Amino acid sequence: MKENVNKNLTEKITAIVLAAGRGLRMRCNVLKPYLNLGDRPLITYALKAFQDSEVDEVIVVAGKEELDYFRREIVEPYGFSKVSQIVPGGCERYESVYLGLCSAIRQDHPGDYVLIHDGARPFISPAKISACIRTVRETKACVMGMPVDDTIKIVDENNCAVFTPDRRTVWRIQTPQCFLLEEIHQAYSKMMEEGETRMTDDAMVMESYGRRRVKVIHGGYDNIKITKPEDLIMGEAMLRQGTVKIQ
């Protein structure tokens, strides 16, 4: 009995993989998670990386009508044994994240961590996931990103430039975004209670409703998000040219 109690008190690392996107900007009839990239569905790349990583479990947030399909056509055929739950998502990303967090939270386990990842970023790797885990253990809140190469302009309502930030301080934010599970769940709960709908990523929720500063660490220019048809073309090219290593 004592051994089981000790095990339950240990740190747990959960990955929440978002796969509920409609993919409207892809302009096709196939839902984005199931689009073929190379020789298999887009969503399988991220799930394979987490399967091969240090995370203890994976919670997938999928479309409400796709839960059985996802298990039957994705989880079981590809052997994703770390997928412990497939939960229905919301209409917006922040709603899906919140539902995933509610499924992941364990009472009286303040030392659990969560990595929130967009399933449309197929080229995340176990090595990058390990870097996220090392950093979140140290800082309690971190996100992946890369410095921008372009000059950025802040514009007004008439699309006239009003400010040019120093691009050395501007990063393009990626996922995973990683936190103490209890803290990001509390931050999201406060946001949901207030009815806030403008949050576009998890770090923004922590910045606004949490108590942690969020560390930004290098991800990779290959950690692209498949959002538009040209992104899928780029992903296919990266696979053909071997610029990403896929296990």
3-state secondary structure the chain: CHHHHHHHCCCCEEEEEEECCCCHHHCCCCCHHHCEECCEEHHHHHHHHHHCCCCCEEEEEECCCCHHHHHHHHHHHHCCCCEEEEEECCCCHHHHHHHHHHHHCCCCCCCCEEEEEECCCCCCCHHHHHHHHHHHHHHCEEEEEEECCCCCCEECCCCCEEECCCHHHCEEEEEEEEEEHHHHHHHHHHHHHHCCCCCCCHHHHHHHHCCCCCEEEECCCCCCCCCCHHHHHHHHHHHHHCCCCCC
Type of residue at 127: A
Higher pLDDT, 113 or 26: 113
pLDDT digit string, tens, across residues 171-188:
999 999 999 999 999 999
Specify the pLDDT at position 242: 85
pLDDT digit string, tens, across residues 197-225:
999 999 999 999 999 999 999 999 999 99
pLDDT digit string, tens, across residues 26-42:
666 778 899 999 999 99
Specify the pLDDT at position 158: 97
Q: Which whole number is the average pLDDT over 50-67? A: 97
pLDDT at position 228 over 50: yes
Q: Which CATH architecture fits 2-145+173-241?
A: Alpha-Beta Complex (3.90)
Specify the pLDDT at position 243: 81
pLDDT at position 5 over 50: no
Q: Rounded to two decimals, what is the model's pTM?
A: 0.93
- Tell me what the pLDDT averaged over the chain comes to: 93
